[in-house]
Amino acid sequence: MAFPTETVYGLGANGLDAEAVEGIFIAKGRPRRNPLILHVATTLQARRLAAVWPDVAERLAGRFWPGPLTLILPRAPVVPDAVTAGLSSIALRMPSHPVALALIDRSGVPIAAPSANLSGSPSPTLAAHVLADLDGKIDIILDGGPTNVGVESTILDLTGERPVLLRPGGVTLEELEQVLGRVLVHDTAMPGKDTDAADTGPAGRESDPQGPAVAAGALSGLQAAPCPGTLFRHYAPRAEALVVTGDSREQQVKVREYLAGYPGRRVALMATAENAPVYVQMMTGGLPGVGRPPAGVVHVEVLGSRSRPEEIASHIFSALRRCDLAGAEAILMEAIPLSGMGLAVMNRLYRAAANRVI
């Protein structure tokens, strides 16, 4: 059954029933080595699923639950192997969406749920996205309208000596640091840093002077295990996606150069509000009277102002899907600063682009 959460739609099953959990992997085409998050309705329920419940978990749950924060803790024996992919740890989260909470509460069990998309495709922020990916493969979709946050939960590993951010998400690094002090950031949480990004350069601070000082605390990648999920292809549209780095002015120049360099290519733009009017002008002003030009800019998505990353976060996954539907061969996605929700946004865009940048 698919259901809304405040982040993205989830595909849920009884998290204590290995057979039910197996059905999730089959429907999504998800690699068995990629473990699931268990969703709970109370902190007590979470404590029963963890082998230990440290004071730091209590403080974080008190501050951020219900909400978009997933805690990794040592797992209790009651959790089936199918959920954790055999790991000794478990991912726990209490969502804040009333439908999700009611579902967990009424079912009386923790609900194992990944995002309700086909493995590898953009996460679903509308019931229609779930239907597009999983029609015929699942029984029920609870339609709660568009999800609010738009990117998945923040994942914080509490199994080591110090908390480690594994995936940036709906709770920002800055918010975590208000509770915890300095938080270590795993390489896989940093946009563009987890794979062979060296050739193209990371999103990091050089290209974006407004980015936060996150990299200063970043781990070498050896001190903590990453999310297994980061090893797999993610958020990928059908079109070739590219991140456009730089400030607004540089981005405009790069987009123009790209269009000039690939005449005839059907290009969609995921643009900040600052630059979008220029691109809309390029699209509509191209060939007067002919309607949509045969090539060049075929579609523009306005993500929101680069000073409002939480607004941009709520648009990126639906924008990626619409760019595909518009028949784009390439999607150029404008980068934003890494502060606040910008870190989660850029983490997703770099993955969608397989770290390709211009």
| Number of shown-chain residues binding Mg ion (CB under 5 A) | 1
173 vs 314: CA distance, rounded Å: 18
**Shortest approach of ligand TXA to residue 225 CB, angstroms?**
7
Cβ-Cβ contacts under 8 Å for 161 (sequence gap 6 or more): none
Q: Which does 36 bind (CB under 5 to 8 A by kind): Mg ion, ligand TXA, none?
A: ligand TXA
Strands (E) in the chain, as ranges, are 2-3, 10-11, 13-14, 37-39, 69-74, 89-93, 111-112, 154-157, 164-167, 184-185, 240-244, 266-272, 296-304, 330-334
Residue 37 to residues 48, 157, 204, 306, Cα–Cα distance (Å)? 15, 13, 29, 31
**Shortest approach of ligand TXA to residue 15 CB, angstroms?**
12
- How many C-beta neighbours within 10 Å does residue 283 have? 17
Q: Which does 35 bind (CB under 5 to 8 A by kind): Mg ion, ligand TXA, none?
A: ligand TXA
Cβ-in-10-Å burial (0-12, 13-18, 19+) of 151 comes to buried
The residue at minimum Cβ distance from Mg ion is 115
**Shortest approach of Mg ion to residue 123 CB, angstroms?**
5
The residue at minimum Cβ distance from ligand TXA is 229
Q: Which does 252 bind (CB under 5 to 8 A by kind): ligand TXA, Mg ion, none?
A: none
300 vs 282: CA distance, rounded Å: 10
| Number of residues that this document lists for the chain | 358
Q: Which does 153 bind (CB under 5 to 8 A by kind): ligand TXA, Mg ion, none?
A: ligand TXA
Enumerate binding residues for ligand TXA (CB under 6 A).
Answer: 5, 7-8, 10, 34-37, 68, 70, 72, 84, 87, 89-91, 93, 95, 113-115, 152-153, 155, 166, 227-229
Q: Which stretch binds Mg ion (CB under 5 A): 35-43, 110-118, 158-166, 304-312?
A: 110-118
Q: Which does 113 bind (CB under 5 to 8 A by kind): Mg ion, ligand TXA, none?
A: ligand TXA
**Shortest approach of ligand TXA to residue 114 CB, angstroms?**
3
Q: Do the beta carbons of residue 164 and residue 185 sit within 8 Å?
A: yes
Q: Which amino acid is at 53?
A: W
**Shortest approach of Mg ion to residue 2 CB, angstroms?**
13
115 near Mg ion (CB under 5 A) = yes
Of 70 and 318, nearer to ligand TXA (C-beta) is 70
Instruction: Match 């309705």 to its residue by tokens.
Output: 41
| 35: phi then psi, degrees, rounded to nearest 5 | -70, 165
96 near Mg ion (CB under 5 A) = no
Q: Which does 155 bind (CB under 5 to 8 A by kind): Mg ion, ligand TXA, none?
A: ligand TXA
Of 45 and 89, nearer to ligand TXA (C-beta) is 89
Cβ-in-10-Å burial (0-12, 13-18, 19+) of 295 comes to middle
Q: Which does 84 bind (CB under 5 to 8 A by kind): Mg ion, ligand TXA, none?
A: ligand TXA
Point out which residues pair with 10 in neighbouring strands: 3, 115
**Shortest approach of ligand TXA to residue 161 CB, angstroms?**
16
Of 233 and 249, nearer to ligand TXA (C-beta) is 233
Residues that bind Mg ion (CB under 5 A): 115
